[in-house]
Amino acid sequence: MNHADPVRITSALDAGNTVKTTTCYMCACRCGIKVHVREGEVRYIEGNPEHPLNQGVICAKGSAGIMKQVSPARLTQPLMRKPGSERGAGEFEAISWDRALDMLTERLAKIRNTDPKKFAMFTGRDQMQALTGLFARQFGTPNYAAHGGFCSVNMAAGMIYTIGGSFWEFGGPDLDRARLFVMIGTAEDHHSNPLKIAISKFKRGGGRFISINPVRTGYSAIADEWIPIKPGTDGALFMALLHEVIANDQIDHAFLKRYTNAPQLVVEDDGERQGLFAFDPAAGPPGDGRNPHNKLVWDKASGKVMAAYPAGIAEGCDPALEGRYTLADGTRVVPSFQLLRERVADCTPEWAATITGIPAARIKALAREMGDTAFKQAFEMPIPWTDAWGKQHPTTIGRPVAFHAMRGLAAHSNGFQTVRALAVLMSVLGTIDAPGGFRHKAPYPRHIVPNYRAFSAPEMIKPNTPLNAAPLGFPASPDELAINPDGSPIRIDHAFSWEHPLSAHGMMHNVITNAVKGDPYRIDTLMIFMANMAWNSTMNTMAVREMLNRKDEKGEHLIPFLVVCDAFQSEMTAFADLVLPDTTYLERHDVMSMLDRPISEFDGPVDSVRIPVVPPKGECRPFQEVLIELASRLKFPVFTNEEGGRKFRDYPDFIVNFEPQPGIGFLMGWRGTDGGSHLRGLPNPRQWEMYEKNNCVFRYPMPENMHYMRNWNRAYLDFAKDKGWRQRNDPIQLALYSDTLQSFRLAAQGKSPGRRPPEALRERIVTYFDPLPFWYAPLEQAATDTAAYPLAAITQRPMAMYHAWDSQNAWLRQIHSHNTLQVNPVTAHAAGIADGGWCWVESQWGKVRCIARHSEAVEPGTVWTWNAIGKASGAWQLEPGADESRKGFLLNHLISEELPLAGQPGHTISNSDPITGQAGWYDVRVRIRPAAPEEPEESFPQVAAVPSPPGVAGRAAGVLAYFAGKRK
Amino acid sequence: MHPAWSVILFTVLAGLGQGLFVMLVRASDSGIAPHLLGMAGLASTVLLCVGLACSFLHLGHPLRAWRAVAMWRTSWLSREVIVLPLTIAVVAAWSLAQLAGWAHAQWLGLLGVALCFVLWVCTGMIYACIRFLREWAHPLTLVNFVLLGWMSGATLFAALGELLPGFSANPLWLSAATALTVAGACARLASLGRNRMLKPVSTPQSALGVRAAKLKQMSQGATGGSFNTREFFHGKSALVVRNVRWIALGLAFALPLALLVAARYQPGAGLVALAALSQVLGLLAERWLFFAQANHPQNIYYQAVA
Amino acid sequence: MTQPAETLAKQLALVIDLNVCVGCHACVTSCKQWNTSGSAGPLADLNAYGAEPNGTFFNRVQTWEAGEYPQADTIHFPKSCLHCEDPPCVPVCPTGASYKRKEDGIVLVDYDRCIGCKYCAWACPYGARELDESRQVMTKCTLCVDRIYDEKLAPEDRKPACVKACPTNARLFGDVKDPDSEVSKAIRERGGYSLMPEWGTQPANQYLPRLVREAQEF
Ligand SMILES: Nc1nc2c(c(=O)[nH]1)N[C@H]1C(S)=C(S)[C@@H](COP(=O)(O)OP(=O)(O)OC[C@H]3O[C@@H](n4cnc5c(=O)[nH]c(N)nc54)[C@H](O)[C@@H]3O)O[C@H]1N2
Ligand SMILES: Nc1nc2c(c(=O)[nH]1)N[C@H]1C(S)=C(S)[C@@H](COP(=O)(O)OP(=O)(O)OC[C@H]3O[C@@H](n4cnc5c(=O)[nH]c(N)nc54)[C@H](O)[C@@H]3O)O[C@H]1N2
Ligand code: SF4
Ligand code: SF4
Ligand code: SF4
Ligand code: SF4
Ligand code: SF4
Ligand SMILES: [Mo]
C-alpha cells in the first residue's frame, strides 16, 4: 500500500522558511533560540545549540512561544480609561500614540518641574533595569525599583553581604565537578535550562543529590534523597550543621584564616566600636565593611597582634581562630570565629530537630557527609593562580560539595539571616569559588559591601535635576539609608529606611498600600511595567485591587494617575488610566547587559541580545522606545545633545552609543570602531550586526587562571577592574561576621554617633541586625495564633508556566488550567477533607475555597499549590467560565502585605524581612476545613469579569488549529 | 469505554434487523403471505440501513468509509464493513423477491441468514478481538451479539404475528422468542458474572514499571482532559452504571419474558409488542452497559485531572 | 488473527530515562509545535481559551507518587506512542491508514486514508493515540519521521523534536535492534524495561528506572 510520505510533505512546507536567532523571553532564563518563520508566521522555535546557556535545549514555555504570538489577549493600541468609568472595570477607549505620549510628557514634565518624587516607577519581571533605573535617575525620582524586593532579595543580599556573590544569576553550583549536591528550597529557578542540563549530567556522572524542601516536585523528584523540612526553619538546620562541622573539626582552617574575616579581631568592650572589627588607625580610618582592609588578627606563632593584611597572612604567621585577646591599648578583642563557635554551641542537632522536623541523627549524618565530601573527596586541579597578596598557588583545590538555594530560603522574613547561615556554612567548608563548590559569574564577586550607594538624603531630590546617586544600592552603614532627618522614609516603598535598611532591591510589594495611605506622602503618577500588581504579584490581592481604585473625600483617586505598560490584557491593565501596549520578545530589540543582569557563565562574562524576528503587532511599541522617546521629550541630560536636541535616534542607537563610563556600554562584545575590542572599547556602529551574526550572544571565556578563587585572584581582580566590573582591585574577604550589620545595631543601641532609628524600631534592629547568623521564627508567627492556624502554606513554580505570563497560552494552559491545594493525607484526613474535594483554606488575613488533593510528597505541616495559576475572570481574554477562574485559585488572598509592628499597638509594618524588606510570601499560617456540600463548586473569591478592551485580538473560535503559513 | 450512541444504535438496530430477517426466512414456508414477508423483510432492511447510517455517524470521515474495505485480511471492522452492505443487499433482494413472488427467493433467504450470522460474528469479533479489553475478549461476547440480536428479532417477529392479521400467530414463534430471550439472558448473565470476577491484569505498577506498593497518579499532564479521558471513560458514577444494569436486565430480559409468558394466556392483547419494545429499549441500555463496563487498561494512565 | 509480529531488522524508538526526567514538559510542547505546522498537523485545541481546554498532543508527561511520606517518590512519566513491535493498533485498522513501516518499525497513520473510526485507539493498551477533533483523523507520535529523514536538515537536527528539546537528555533516540546504538546500550546497562509487558505488544520504546545513590562511607 502506498502511503503519503510525511518527509516530503514537511520538507516541502518548510522549503521557504527563514531561520533567525534571538533570545527567548518566555522566562528570565534567556536561552538562545532559533526561530523558524514560514510566510510571516512562526513555525518552530528550537534551542540554539551554539548558545552557551541552553546548548540547544529548550523548555516547555520556550517551545510554546508561538502561542504567545497569537494570544487573543495581545494589546495592540494605547488605551485610555473611559472617562467616568471606574478603575478596574476595564472600560477603555483606544487613543493614538501621539496623544498618549503628549499626555504623559505633559504630566511627567509638571511633576519633574515641581516634586520629582511624586513620580514612581516600578517594574516587574523585566531584565532592563539598567535602562529603567537610568530613566528614573535622570527624572530625579528616588521612587524606582524592580521586582527584586518581593522576589528574592534575601538570597541576593544575604550572600552578597557574606561572600560577595550569590545564587540566582550571579553564581551557582559547579555541578561538573561536585560529588554531593544539596539543593534547598528550589523548585525551578531562573537558571532553568542550564540547571536541568547540569543536574542530569551530575546524576549520570554518579553524583549524589539531596533536596531539602517541604515538598517534592520537579528537581527534587529526581533527588537521591528528599529531606522534608518545615517551612521557615532552614536557618536552624544550617546552624546545627555549623555546630556539627565545627564540633567534628570538618572545617577548612587554612581557607578561613586566609580568605575570610574569621580570624579578624572584634572589639568586645562596650562602646561605639563594640562588635566592630578592631583596626590599626595608622593604616587609615575605621572600616565600614566596604573598606579599608586595616583590621587585625592575633598571630599564634608570634603571640602578637598584627595587621590582618598583608602581615597576618604572611608565611609563618598563624592567625588564631579562637581565644580572647587584649590589644596594646587594653581593648578586649576576640577572633570573630570564636564568636561564631560560641553562637553555634547551643545549636545542637537535637535543638534543630524540634524546629525543623528533621531527626537529629539525620542532621548529624548530613553534616558528616558534607564534611567528608568537602575534605575526603577534595581534589586538586592543575591550575596555578596567584592570590591578591602575591602568593602563587601551584594548584586549585576542589571542594566537591555544592549547594543551591532559592526562594525557599529567601521568601521568609528570617531569610536574610538564614541565607547568611548557609553562606557561612559554605564558607567554613571552603567551597567558595572553588571547583566543585559555589562559583561566581561575572561581574560578580562584588565588594562586600558592593560599592553602590543609594541616594541618602532628601536634599538630593531637586526639581528638573537628575538624582546624584542611584535610586537603589547596597547600604554599608546607617549613613547610606534613604531617610529624612527625623528618621522617616524618603521612598514611597519605605525601602532603605530604618524599617528595612538593606532593601537593596526596593519594596515593590508596599508601593500601592503606602501610596494610598500617603505614607510618607501622596504621589501623582505610578508607572508599572511588566508586573501584575493587581493579581499574582501582590499580597492581599482583593484589598490591593480596592486600593487601586480608592478615592479621597473629594473624589480624587489616591493614586491619581496609573500608567501600565504590558503586552497583554492582564488583571493589572484593567486598573490603568493609560495602557501602553508593549511588543513581545520576538518583536523587539533587547539586551541582557553586564550593566544589569547578564547571562554570564562560570568561565567568563556573557551578554546577549534580542533581535526582532517578526514585526510588532498592531501599534505595539517596545517600552524601551517609549522610555527613550519620553526621556528625549523631557530633555533628560543623558538623552539630550549639546544643542538641546534628541541624542539617540532609537533604542538600538542608544545601546550602541550610550556609555556610562568611557569604553563601557550596555553591550560588551565587538566594541571599538571596527568591532575588534571586546569588553571595553569605543562604540561600534555595527555592533548589532555582529551580535546578529554571532547567534545574538557574546561570550568571553577568561583564561583558566581566572576561573576560580576570584574573590582573591590577583589576575582576575586586576582584569575585572580594568573592564569596569568593579571599582577597585582589592580582594573580597568573606564576611562570616558582618560588621555592617553591627553598625546598624550600634546605631539602634545608641552607641554610635550619627543616625539613630526611631524609638519604635530600635529593638527590632538590635534583634535582627546580628553580625552573626541566627535562626528566629518568621515574624508572622509572632503575630499568629499558631494553634488556630497550624499549617504553613506555600507555593511552587510549575515548570510549564511562568507566573501570569502564560495563562493565555493555549498550549501551556492545557497543562495547568487550574491548580489544587496539595495536602498530606494524614493532615487531610484529620481535617475531614476528601481527595479531590472542595475545601476552605483560611489564614487570619483571608480565605480561599479550592480543590484539595492528597499528596504523599508534602510534609504534613505544610500545604502547597502551584503559583499564579488562578486568574481573575475575564482577564487574559479567557472565557468567564475558564478553569483558571472557576477552579483555580491564588494563595495570595491569604497573605498580608503588612503585619502589626511588634510592641507598637496600632502600627503596621511591611510583611517582610526586617533587614532586606524581602516579602515574606512563605510565612503565612493557615487552617483547612471541608467546604459544605451545598456550597458552589467554584473557587473563592471570584471577581466580576471585565469586558474586552479595544484592540485586543479577542478570543479565537472554539477550535484553534495553529498552522504556520498557508495550509498544505 | 465511552458508550457512543452511534455504535449503540447501530448494533441494536442492525441486530434487530438481522434477527427479524432470520425469523422471516425461517417462517417463509409457514404460510405467511409472501407480500407480508416482503414488507417485513423491507422493515428489516430499513433497520439495517438505519444501523448503517448510525455507524457512519461514528466515523470522523463518513465519505471515506469505502476505504474501510481494504483490510479485510486483518481487521474485523473491515470485514464488518464488507458484510454489512452485502447483508443489506441480500435482505433487500429477498424482500423484493418475496414481494415479486420470485421463485428462487429461498436461496437468497438462506444466503441472507448466513450473512446475518457472519455479520453478528464480525460485529462481536470487533469487540472480542481486543485482547486486553477483558470484559470483551471472550466467546461470550460473540454469543451475546448473536443471541441478543436474534432474540430481539424473534420477539419482534412474534409481535408482528400478534399485531398483523395474516401473520399467523403461531405459538411456535412465541416459544422461539421466549427461548431465545432465556438463552440471551443466560448468556448475558454469564458474561456479567464473568466480568464481575475479572481482576485487572494491568496495574499502575505494570503500566509504569514501578514496583512501589502505593502508586498514585497526581497529574495526567492535561488538566482539561483529552481524547483519552473522553473516549475511554463513561464519565458516570458507579450508581448510574448499577442502575443502568438493572434497567438493561429488566427491560431486555425480565419484563419481555414475563410479557411473553403472559401473552400465551392473553393472546392478542399487545403484550408481545410491548415485549419487543421493552427489549429494544433494554438492549440500548445493555449496549451502553457493554461499553461502560469495559475497563480499558489505558485508563490507568488517565485517572487524575489535576 | 494474532499472527506473530514480523521481526524487523531496524526498529527506531525512544528510551526514556526516569532517573533524570524532571517533568518539565519541554518534550510536550516542542512536539506540539513541530507537528502542528508539519505533515501531521494542524493539531487542534478545543476550548483553547475556555473551560477544560484540551487538544491533540502526541506526547504527555504525567506525575505519579510512589510510596508513603516520608519515603515518597515523585515520578515524572512521559508517554507517547511506543512503536510496538507487535502493534495491536495496526491490524485492526480497516483502511490500512494505520501501518508499521518495514524499514524502521515506525508506526504511522496516513491521515488521507483514515476514516476516524477510532478503532485503533481502542486497540492500543497505552492510550497513545489521540483523535484530532478538528480534522477527525487519528493522530499519534510519528517519531518525527519528517525530521529524522529530512536531508534538508543538518545531520545533528535529524532527531525528534522532543529529544532535541529535552533539557535533561532524558529522551534517547535510536535503533533498538542495533546492539551498538546508544539506546541499546542504555537498555542493557541501565535495565531498560517495557510498559505493560503482559500484553505482548513488545513496545519498542523502553524506560530506564530510577536509581538511588546512597551516601558514601569513609
Ligand atoms: N503566592 C505567591 N505569589 C508570588 C510568588 C510566590 O512564590 N507565591 N512569587 C513572587 C515573585 S518571586 C515574583 S517575581 C512575582 C512575579 O509576578 P509579576 O512580576 O507580576 O509577573 P507576571 O504576573 O508573570 O507578569 C507581569 C506582567 O508582565 C506582562 N508581560 C509579559 N511579557 C511582557 C512583555 O514583553 N512586555 C510587557 N510590557 N509586559 C509583559 C504580563 O502580561 C504580566 O501582566 O510574583 C510574586 N508573587
Ligand atoms: N517555570 C517557571 N520558572 C520560573 C518562574 C515561574 O513562574 N515559572 N519564576 C521565576 C522567578 S520570578 C523566580 S523568583 C524563580 C524562583 O525559583 P524558586 O525559588 O525555585 O521558586 P519557588 O517555586 O518559589 O521555590 C521555592 C521552593 O522552596 C520550597 N520552600 C518553601 N519554603 C521553604 C522553606 O522554608 N525551606 C525550604 N527548604 N524550602 C522551602 C518550596 O516548596 C519550593 O519548592 O523562578 C523563576 N523561574
Ligand atoms: S528556560 Fe526560559 S528562556 Fe529558556 S527556553 Fe525556557 S522559557 Fe525560554
Ligand atoms: S503504543 Fe499503541 S499506538 Fe503505539 S504502536 Fe503500540 S499499540 Fe500502537
Ligand atoms: S481511526 Fe483511522 S487509523 Fe484508526 S483504525 Fe480507524 S481508520 Fe484506521
Ligand atoms: S518523537 Fe516527535 S512526534 Fe514523537 S513524541 Fe517526540 S516530538 Fe512528538
Ligand atoms: S523534556 Fe525531558 S525532562 Fe522534560 S518532561 Fe520531557 S523527558 Fe522529562
Ligand atoms: Mo521572582
- Quick: pLDDT tens for A763-820: 999 999 999 999 999 999 999 999 999 999 999 999 999 999 888 999 999 999 999 9
A108-127 pLDDT per residue, tens = 999 999 999 999 999 998 88
Ligand nearest to the CA of C114: 5
Kindly give the pairing relationship between strand A862-866 and strand A791-796: parallel
CB contact under 8 A, C42 and A961: yes
Q: C128-160, pLDDT tens digit by residue?
A: 999 999 999 999 999 999 999 999 999 999 999
Cα(A824)–Cα(A757) distance, integer angstroms: 44
Whether pLDDT at B71 is above 70: yes
Contact B223 A814 (CB under 8 A): yes
Quick check: B223 and A851 CB within 8 A?
no
pLDDT (tens digit per residue) in A314-329? 999 999 999 999 999 9
**B169 CB-near residues (< 8 Å, 6+ apart):** B161, B162, B267, B268
Cα B176 from Cα B155, distance rounded (Å):
8
- Burial letters A532-561, b for 16+ CB under 10 A, else e: bbbbbbbbbbebbbebbbeeeeeeeebbbb
Q: What is the pLDDT, as a whole number, of residue A918?
A: 97
Q: How many of the other CB atoms lie within 10 Å of CB of B166?
A: 11
In this structure, the strands spanning A925-930 and A847-854 are unpaired
**For residue A290, pLDDT beyond 80:** no
CB atoms within 10 A of CB A254: 9
Predicted pLDDT of residue C3: 53
Give the CA distances from residue A231 to residues A357, A368, A415, A418, A768, in Å, rounded to whole numbers and listed in that order: 10, 23, 11, 12, 19
Residue B267 confidence (pLDDT): 81
pLDDT digits 0-9 by tens, A915-968: 999 999 999 999 999 999 999 999 999 999 999 999 987 776 678 999 999 875
Q: Cell digits for A963?
A: 498552522
* A1 interfacial to chain B (CB closer than 8 Å): yes
How close does chain A come to B173, measured CA to CA in Å? Answer: 50
Element housing A150 (H / E): helix A148-151
Rounded Cα–Cα distance for residues A735 and A704 (Å): 26
CB distance C205 to ligand 6 below 6 Å: no
A803 lines ligand 1 (CB under 6 A): yes
Tell me, what's the pLDDT at C2?
A: 46
Q: From the CA of A234, give the closest atom in ligand 2.
A: 36
**C174: its cell numbers:** 535510536
Cα of C40 vs centre of ligand 5, distance in Å, is: 15
**Per-state percent for chain B, helix, strand, coil, to nearest 5:** 70, 0, 25
DSSP A373: I
Among chain B residues, CA nearest to A812: B222
Specify the DSSP element, H or E, that contains C185.
helix C182-190
B296 CA: distance to closest CA in chain C (Å): 7
Taking residues C204-211, report their average pLDDT.
97
Quick check: C4 pLDDT over 70? Answer: no
> Which tens digit of pLDDT belongs to each residue from A604-627?
999 999 999 999 999 999 999 999
Q: Which residues contact A247 (CB under 8 A, 6 or more apart)?
A: none
Q: Do B65 and C119 touch (CB under 8 A)?
A: no
Residues in contact with ligand 3 by the CB-under-6-Å rule are: A 24, 26-27, 29-31, 54, 58-59, 61-62, 192-193
- Give the closest of C47, C52, C92 to B75, CB-based: C92
- Whether chain C has a CB inside 8 Å of the CB on B57: the answer is no
Q: Report the C-alpha gap between A212 and A947 in whole angstroms.
A: 45
Radius of gyration for the alpha carbons in chain B, expressed in angstroms and rounded? 21
C59 lines ligand 6 (CB under 6 A): yes
Other C-beta atoms lying within 10 Å of the C-beta of residue B117: 17
pLDDT mean over A812-834: 97
Task: Say yes or no for a CB contact (<8 Å) between A810 and C45.
Answer: yes
Question: From residue A91, how far is each of A117, A200, A562, A755, A873 by CA, in Å?
Answer: 29, 49, 14, 49, 15
What is the distance, to the nearest Å, from the Cα of residue A97 to the centroid of all Cα atoms in its chain? 33
CB A789 within 8 A of CB A925: yes
Nearest C-alpha of chain C: how many angstroms from B228? 6
Count of positions (residues) in chain C: 218
Biggest CA–CA distance in chain A, Å, is 101
The residues lining ligand 5, judged by C-beta closer than 6 Å to any ligand atom, are C 93, 95, 97-98, 109, 114-120, 138
pLDDT of A852 reads 98
Minimal CA–CA distance to A54: which of A191, A177, A188, A169? A191
CA dihedral A321, A323, A327, A332 (to 10 degrees): 120
CA of C145 from ligand 6 middle (Å) equals: 9
Query: For residues A285 and A293, what is the distance between their CA atoms, to the nearest angstrom?
Result: 10
* Cα atoms in the 13 Å half-sphere on the side-chain side of A126: 29
Cβ pairs bridging A and C (under 8 Å): 261
Please identify, by atom number, the ligand 3 atom nearest to the C-alpha of residue A23.
3
Could you give phi then psi for residue A862, rounded to 5 degrees? Answer: -130, 145
Query: Ligand 1: distance of its center to the CA of A607 in Å?
Result: 23
Is beta strand C59-66 parallel, antiparallel or unpaired with respect to B215-219?
antiparallel
Q: With 50 as the cut, is the pLDDT of residue C1 above it?
A: no
Contact between B214 and B281 under an 8 Å Cβ cutoff? The reply is: no
Contact at CB, C146 and A207, closer than 8 angstroms: no
pLDDT tens by residue, A91-103: 999 999 999 999 9
**What is the CB-side half-sphere exposure of residue A363 using CA atoms within 13 A?**
27
pLDDT per residue over A878-927, tens digit each? 998 999 999 999 999 999 999 999 888 889 999 999 999 999 999 999 99
A851/B306 CB distance under 8 A: yes
Distance between CA A216 and CA B216 in Å, rounded? Answer: 14
Cβ-Cβ contacts under 8 Å for A357 (sequence gap 6 or more): A228, A229, A230, A233, A859, A861
Of C46, C111, C152, the CB nearest to A959: C46
